[in-house]
A and B are shown apart, each in its own frame.
Chain A
């Protein structure tokens, strides 16, 4: 036995620092675990109350935010937010309307916003959620309920309570929930040997939508980044980076001191508020085209992806009224026409997009293709191809060498081919 222990330590001995840190964490009742949480707002600590502590005490849990034990090991924290107060620059009013505006993507009139904090990102059966934030509109407030799992041993009860909370609206709203949170919950339900109806609920995934709308405008689609750029909401220093969350829950489990999780509760609450604000903004974009011409372009893209080409074209035409967005708007319209195989219309839009300025190699090449393959006039096709080549030759300094070289090769081949075909076709057409 002691021999086995020695061998285990020799094989897997952790770095000395880690051992020390663990010893500190272990001593139940020691205040040590609070260190490193210097950002913890005193306000939250002050709010802690002991009511309902009987169950918690039994588990040896201390330091939770104000809330109540629903069952053994399952704790609820509730907070209310006035609809008058914007999140970032976005008011939370009209969540029902924005939900309906996004019904085509799974939105609904009584949206339930949710987000999970988990023990890792690894996936598989060994990762579980310990905190679920669930937000919804209630009378005049936006209410965030946070369901906390005090120990993995009580997960089945926690899942059951969570399912109840999530089913209180018409649809679920998440950020990457279709790919991450929902499969994770399915796994947890399967491990508890039961099934769940959650997967059947309508589900609006704001990450997917955001990707479509701000493609090319945002470098990253992490929620904090979208918050900053789109909602103009900047998290305070108290926020815990998502990557640290699993470690903090581990520290809590070892010590029983939940004060280390203050930042995680806050982080999760902000996630929910951001979801609500983001839906509100996207709903407005989808129904009205937003506040500026660029937003009209985005709205058009959104509807085009949903297959609503009529709606999309309407927004693009509106965007085209603004001279700064004209060329992009006409490109979109041209592509849409091409998809409908309305070649003369597409040709017209491509040509119109040329007048908008900007680097117009794409329209020239597309025009050349349309004339060559669809409208079958090699002379016209040649004119556009030659123009494209001329343009490209002047762009050498602005493009990466290999890309420029490849495009030049392609265009030269195109021009040569069209010259041949124009020579064959030319005399007939003149007659």
Chain B
């Protein structure tokens, strides 16, 4: 099936267009761009020499501008596409600053540990060449306690993550006196990830950081790097609450780049069934890798990573290639395993990698020629970030999106212009979200007593302090509020909504010496590692022998399975308490529970169902807050079938989910929506908008308070959307014979307006 002759990338693209049975919905060429460079400016000769040794003799204009701004003491935010040399934007000012003043210190914040390790290596390589005694350390959960003391006092550059800053550094700031007294630069990389609730938490953490810096007499300059989003400058200023100079014009060169959307062929025209996008993706990846074209494959789930990996390896072996040139890379692999893969990618022993979105974050894996997207990742910015992983300063690169059978993917295949014309998502934060603010006021009071009249970024601080004093958490004496509680507040505040609890997977194939295989995060465990599941790790199947929920361990054994398992999850939303209501609206406490029910055994390769079993596990529960909107018989036209009602409610919920973040100042992923045609509690149609954070962070409450705006905005968004029958930007995509869902949603919203007027 595979041609033996290797192909160039151009030939591969022609092969996809001409020889593959599917249809290329669009093929665009993005023209190459010349580099625009500028001289170094006044830098220390040691630094200039070190850069030259690493092959850098001039800077791209955006780098030069960022360096100039930072060195003159201005906060700066740089928008940096892949391969634009972003790390120099902060490395140069930082190293220059320390060369000028050896007491100066810098703090790097990366959202993930992997990035910290990566940047550490890169920074170290440059510093070594300057010959100066500049010490860089990573400080995170993995740092051995013996090394911590030294890092606190001797580290010039401390590389860490926001969570560690929040729980490990700020509450112990007296151990970091040297750092805080001399903190000159704070580097915030991957700025675009700090949006929604996570961003609101980070903004408050930065308020605390600046407060501690002021205590020790320093005022750091912030250097931020962001991938392309709609409002990078606005986001940076919202996070820092200081003026930030935006550097958006990219001076880096780019080779010619091709973007394709490929739709697998119809195998049953009447039922509209297409060939599996996963198998088609594997086929293209195999062909590319057999031709030694460096390739990255993105897919949405961990199971798919393993399946793609398995198929690509089988394909390579079938055409006489080495299966080891491709690796998986996803959450749950051990850090050492990841390091090995990253190294293999850099030195060329590994040519291809299959990933969820872990690599989207920017770990340096060298230059890749081809990015293959198995399915639309769900957002414009995310799609371009994934496609951007293939990109070279010169020469050809390409990105191919293989459309899956999901309605959203089929929409893109039918209207590929959407991909090129829709603007990337807006990043919003709300640092004054009361719930988040109160928690950080507590943390800040723990770090240093508040003086009466002192604010943590907002004038509401005083009221919060008085409230906490009344609660006995703070003690007011001589005009200052002292922490007066035995707890350690930062430990009870997670910056991220997702839990950090993981199951450890133990391979007990040889029971006398169990080996740690990897990890699975707690929410995914019921799905992936329930008893009897076949779990794939790095392409090798394992059978789950035991899931120890108390000990958070999962015992697995190597098996020779020709199938994998896929569990069905039952999700249940239950109303627990009504806090307030008005007309058909209300908000209160809800329970979101999920539980795997049955699992299917699915044969590798053919994906046919070869058996099933029941899963006996308890529910994963989350208590949070939710807002609801009810639809009685008076608003739902009696002529609508249950099928249409279901689609209309789901479409309305989707519309609310797209428009609500504007009012809630959150990210789409911070909320979830649920629609019930007949809600068990209210006994009528209902839509819920739920805080996607345990305990809730006030989003449902705000949504309830702003319900009038919410519905008006939804109507406007619907009216303003140019699509005919629905698109990802408004109500989502519906297939089947429900009729024109968009028109029906419009009708429903119209009736709502009348009912509440």
Q: Are A124 and B446 in contact (CB under 8 A)?
A: yes
The verdict on B447 contacting chain A, using a C-beta distance below 8 Å, is yes
B435 and A4: CB pair below 8 A?
no
- Say whether, besides A10-B579, A122-B487, A191 and B434 are in contact (CB < 8 Å): no
C-beta contact mask, A149-162 vs B, less than 8 Å → 1, else 0?
00111100000000
With A122-B488, A151-B477, A153-B482 given, is the CB distance from A191 to B446 under 8 Å?
no
Q: Contacts A5-B463, A153-B482 given: A12-B487 contact, CB under 8 Å?
A: no
Minimum CB–CB distance from B200 to chain A (whole Å) comes to 15
**Chain B residue with the shortest CB-CB distance to A121:** B486
Convert B483-494 into 0s and 1s, putting 1 for each residue whose CB lies closer than 8 angstroms to a CB of A. 111111101000
Q: Do B438 and A11 touch (CB < 8 A)?
A: yes
Q: Which residue of A lies closest to B168 (CB)?
A: A124
Residues A126 and B483 in contact in the complex (CB < 8 Å), given A5-B467, A12-B471, A190-B174: yes
Residues of B within 8 A of A151 (CB): 475, 477-478
Cβ of B475 and Cβ of A253 under 8 Å apart?
Answer: yes
Q: Which residue of A lies closest to B167 (CB)?
A: A124
Q: Are A120 and B449 in contact (CB under 8 A)?
A: no
- Chain A contacts for B470, CB-based, 8 A: 22
Known: A120-B486, A122-B487, A246-B486. A8 touches B434 (CB 8 A): yes
Contacts of A406 in B (CB 8 A): 512
Nearest chain A CB to B262's CB is how many angstroms away?
49
A125 near B471 with CB under 8 A, answer no
B172 touches A119 (CB 8 A): no
Chain B residues within 8 Å of A119, by CB: 483-486
Contact B482–A152 (Cβ < 8 Å)? yes
| B434–A7 CB distance below 8 A | yes
The answer to whether B472 touches A125, judged by C-beta atoms less than 8 angstroms apart, is no
- Residue B24 is within 8 A (CB to CB) of chain A in the complex: no
| A190 closest partner in B (C-beta) | B174
Q: In this complex, what residue of B is CB-closest to A120?
A: B486
Q: In the complex, what residue of chain B is closest to A187 when comparing beta carbons?
A: B174
- 23 contacting pairs across A/B (C-beta < 8 A): A4-B460, A8-B463, A8-B464, A8-B467, A11-B438, A11-B698, A14-B471, A22-B470, A120-B485, A122-B487, A124-B446, A124-B488, A125-B447, A126-B171, A126-B445, A126-B488, A151-B477, A152-B477, A153-B482, A187-B174, A190-B174, A191-B448, A250-B472
Q: Are B478 and A4 in contact (CB under 8 A)?
A: no
Residue contact A153 to B434, C-beta cutoff 8 Å: no
Q: Are B434 and A11 in contact (CB under 8 A)?
A: yes
A123: Cβ under 8 A from any B Cβ? yes
Interchain CB contact (< 8 A) of B486 among A5, A10, A122, A409 = A122
Please determine whether A153 and B480 come into contact, CB atoms closer than 8 angstroms: yes
Query: Is B43 an interface residue, CB under 8 A from the partner?
Result: no
Q: Is the CB of B172 within 8 A of A125?
A: yes
Q: Which A residues lie within 8 Å of B485 (CB)?
A: 119-120, 126, 250
| A186 close to B (CB within 8 Å) | yes
Which residues 416-462 in B have Cβ within 8 Å of A in the complex? 434-435, 438, 445-449, 460
* A190 and B449 within 8 A (CB): no
A5, A122, A187, A406: residue with the most chain B Cβ atoms closer than 10 Å: A122
With a cutoff of 8 Å between Cβ atoms, the chain A residues found around residue B171 in the complex are 124-126
A residues 151-184 touching B (CB-CB < 8 Å): 151-154
Known A151-B478, A246-B486; contact A7-B471, beta-carbon cutoff 8 A:
no
B701 at the interface (CB under 8 A from A): yes
B483 — nearest CB in chain A belongs to which residue? A126
Residues on A with beta carbons closer than 8 Å to the beta carbon of B477: 151-153, 253
Least CB distance, A105 to chain B, in whole angstroms: 22
In the complex, chain B residues whose CB is within 8 Å of the CB of A5: 463, 467
Task: Determine whether the beta carbon of B467 is less than 8 Å from that of A250.
Answer: no
Question: Can you name the residue of chain B whose Cβ is closest to the Cβ of A247?
Answer: B486
Q: Which residues of A contact B (CB under 8 A)?
A: 1, 4-5, 7-8, 10-12, 14, 22, 119-126, 151-154, 186-187, 190-191, 246-247, 250, 253-254, 406, 409
Which B residues have a C-beta under 8 Å from some C-beta of A?
A: 171-175, 177, 434-435, 438, 445-449, 460, 463-464, 467, 470-472, 475, 477-478, 480, 482-489, 491, 512, 579, 698, 701
Q: How far is the CA of A5 from the CA of B460 in the complex (A)?
A: 11
Contacts of A254 in B (CB 8 A): 472, 475
Measured CA separation A125–B483 after assembly (Å): 9
Residues of A within 8 A of B471 (CB): 12, 14, 22
* B484 A8 Cβ-Cβ under 8 A: no
Say how far A187's CB is from chain B's closest CB, in angstroms: 4
Quick one: which of A1, A11, A191 has the most chain B CB within 10 A? A11
Q: Which residues of the partner chain A approach B475 to less than 8 Å between Cβ atoms?
A: 151-152, 250, 253-254
Partner of B446, one of A10, A125, A153: A125
Q: Are B172 and A124 in contact (CB under 8 A)?
A: yes
Known: A8-B438, A12-B471. A190 touches B177 (CB 8 A): yes
Which chain A residue has the least Cβ–Cβ distance from B695?
A11
The residues of B that contact A121 with a CB separation of less than 8 Å are: 486
Which of the residues A1, A153, A186, A250 comes within 8 Å of B484, measured between beta carbons? A250
The CA-CA distance from A247 to B488 in the complex, in Å, is 15
Q: How far is the CA of A1 from the CA of B446 in the complex (A)?
A: 25
Cα–Cα, bound, A123→B484 (Å): 13
Q: Are A191 and B488 in contact (CB under 8 A)?
A: no
Quick check: A125 and B482 within 8 Å, CB to CB? no
CB distance from B444 to the nearest CB of A (A): 10
Contact A186 B174 (CB under 8 A): yes
C-alpha spacing A120/B512, complex, angstroms: 43
Q: Which residue of A lies closest to B475 (CB)?
A: A253
Give the residue name and chain of the A residue nearest to B173 (CB).
A125
Residues of B within 8 A of A153 (CB): 477-478, 480, 482
Known contacts A122-B491, A123-B172, A152-B475; 15 further A-B pairs (Cβ under 8 A) = A10-B701, A120-B487, A121-B486, A124-B447, A125-B171, A125-B172, A125-B173, A126-B447, A126-B485, A151-B477, A152-B449, A152-B477, A154-B478, A246-B486, A250-B472
B480 near A125 with CB under 8 A, answer: no
Question: When chains A and B are docked, how far (Å) is the Cα of A304 from the Cα of B310?
Answer: 58
Chain A residues with CB under 8 Å of B175's CB are 187
Q: Which B residues are in CB contact (< 8 Å) with A126?
A: 171, 445-447, 483, 485, 488-489
Chain A residue nearest in CB terms to B702:
A7
B483: A residues at CB distance < 8 A:
119, 126
In the complex, chain A residues whose CB is within 8 Å of the CB of B177: 190
In the bound complex, residues from chain B placing their C-beta under 8 Å from that of A8 are 434, 438, 463-464, 467
Determine whether the beta carbon of B484 is less than 8 Å from that of A4.
no
- Among B173, B446, B460, B486, max chain A CB count under 10 A is at B486
Which of chain A's residues has its CB closest to B472's CB?
A22
| A12 touching B438, Cβ below 8 Å | yes
Residues of chain A lying within 8 A (CB to CB) of residue B512: 406, 409
**Which 7 A-B residue pairs are closest in the complex by CB-CB distance?**
A126-B446, A120-B486, A190-B174, A122-B488, A153-B478, A126-B483, A124-B171
Tell me the bound Cα distance from A250 to B446 in angstroms. 15
**Whole-angstrom distance from the CB of B122 to the nearest CB of chain A?**
32
A133 CB to closest chain B CB, in angstroms? 20
The answer to whether A123 touches B488 (Cβ under 8 A) is yes
Given the complex of chains A and B, what is the CA–CA distance between A111 and B441 in angstroms? 43
Given contacts A125-B448, A126-B483, A153-B480, A11 and B173 within 8 Å (CB-CB): no
Docked pose: A253 CA to B472 CA in angstroms? 10
Could you say which of B448, B470, B489, B491 has the most chain A C-beta atoms within 10 Å of its C-beta?
B470
CB-nearest residue of chain A to B489: A126
Query: What's the least CB distance linking A396 to chain B, in Å?
Result: 19
User: Which residue, A10, A22, A126, A153, has most C-beta atoms of chain B within 10 A?
Assistant: A126
- The smallest beta-carbon distance between B84 and chain A, in angstroms, is 40
Residue of A nearest to B487 (CB): A122
A118 CB to closest chain B CB, in angstroms? 9
Q: How far is the CA of A382 from the CA of B173 in the complex (A)?
A: 60
Nearest CB of chain B from residue A283's CB, rounded to whole Å: 31
* A12: chain B residues within 8 A (beta carbon): 438, 467, 471
Distance between B343 CB and nearest chain A CB, rounded to angstroms: 36
Using CB atoms, name the residue of chain B closest to A155: B482
| Complex Cα spacing A83 to B445, Å | 45
B76 to chain A, nearest CB (A): 31
